[in-house]
Amino acid sequence: MLTKIEIENLISSARNAQANAFAHRSGHKFGSALLTTDGQVFAGCNTEAVISGLGVCAERSAIDHAVIHGKYEYKAILVVDKEITFPCGACLQYLFLFYQITSQDIEIYAVDSAGNYQMKTLTELLPSGYQTKTDLDIIKSFKNK
């Protein structure tokens, strides 16, 4: 479980990202912050597109931000919204890909606008995520890269 300071830092990073969300269609802005196993934080926000399906969720944006910096091992991810909202199935499955590198569960925090939060683990929210068999050695090769 994360410390109170780690959670507060993630909330701050996620809220800063949330302010930059590009939600021109729905006006529904999300922010997310990802904590790597080595203590680095990467934030993301949702980006909506005119063509449905071309946008990206805040959680996947944060994950991609970490990947750009060569970080593939994650301890926790946090998402901020007006109310307690856990990641969608697509984001959970995307996160599950990186879970396969270490097989260490990832804590997922959902935070509302008042700062209240709930935590669940990735395997609680996605108990039967698709796990690759053929590419598993390649995925695990990203450990400690």
Judge whether 59 counts as a catalytic residue. yes
Active site residue: 6, 59, 73, 107, which one? 59
List the single range of 44-58, 73-87, 106-120 with lowest mean pLDDT. 44-58
Kindly list the structural domains of the chain, giving each domain's residue range(s) and its CATH number in brackets, ordered by start. 4-140 (3.40.140.10)
Query: Is it the case that residue 44 has pLDDT exceeding 90?
Result: yes
In angstroms and rounded to an integer, the radius of gyration of the C-alpha atoms of the chain is 15
Query: Is it the case that residue 133 has pLDDT exceeding 80?
Result: no
pLDDT number for residue 144: 66
pLDDT number for residue 142: 86
Residue 136's pLDDT band (boundaries 50, 70, 90)?
confident
pLDDT number for residue 23: 95
Q: What share of the chain in percent tops pLDDT 70?
A: 99
Query: Is it the case that residue 13 has pLDDT exceeding 80?
Result: yes
Q: Which two tokens stand for residue 132?
A: 């690759």
Report whether 104 contacts 72 (CB < 8 A).
no
Question: Which among 1, 14, 21, 35 is positioned nearest to 115, based on CA atoms?
Answer: 14
Q: Which helix (H) or strand (E) holds 1?
A: none
Residues in the chain: 145
pLDDT number for residue 84: 98
Nearest-angstrom CA–CA distance, 114 and 118: 12
List the single range of 6-10, 49-53, 127-131 with lowest mean pLDDT. 49-53
Query: Is it the case that residue 135 has pLDDT exceeding 70?
Result: yes
With 0-12 / 13-18 / 19 or more C-beta atoms within 10 angstroms meaning exposed / middle / buried, residue 81 is buried
- Type of residue at 70: G
